[in-house]
Structure 1
Amino acid sequence: MSIEQEVDVMCNLSQGIKEAGIAEGRNEGRAEEIIETGYEFGLSEQDILERLQKKLSISLQKAQEYLLMFGKRTV
């Protein structure tokens, strides 16, 4: 593989990583909004988890991670 080809591969790889990071950031922002709204409307954590899974097309495990990140915080 030539140096030019290697550079192209590395650029494509870094672009893919950047795009994945942006998508994850968007999902985190949406998850935070879903969780906050769920609590405001008095939904149970189970209902919030189900909404996260449905709205974001994510696994239960990922929904639980978001709930831990953005769930009720004590001050």
Structure 2
Amino acid sequence: MSAENVNDDIKAMSFEQALEALERIVDDLERGDVPLEQSIRIYERGEALKDHCGKLLKAAEDKVEKIRLARDGKPAGTEPLDPE
């Protein structure tokens, strides 16, 4: 089974689920009591989780908009939060 197939479940994870799984991996690796072969596998899974979290954050940022206010302080529409 390739690493891609093993990590297919990541695509269905919410940001919070992926972040929690990534935190567990970091804890396991920091403890240093994981065999080398398993360390490599969980590191690769951690990379996939990090990429997934990055994609979800980017998608969320793309949806965030700033509300524009008219001179009287009333909402006058929206614009991108960080126009590029």
Same fold (TM over 0.5): no
- Report the structure, 1 or 2, having the larger helix content: 1
**Larger radius of gyration between Structure 1 and Structure 2:** 2
> What TM-score bracket applies, with the shorter chain setting the length?
0.3 to 0.5
Structure-2-length-normalised TM-score:
0.39
Structure-1-length-normalised TM-score:
0.43
- Report the structure, 1 or 2, having the larger strand content: 2
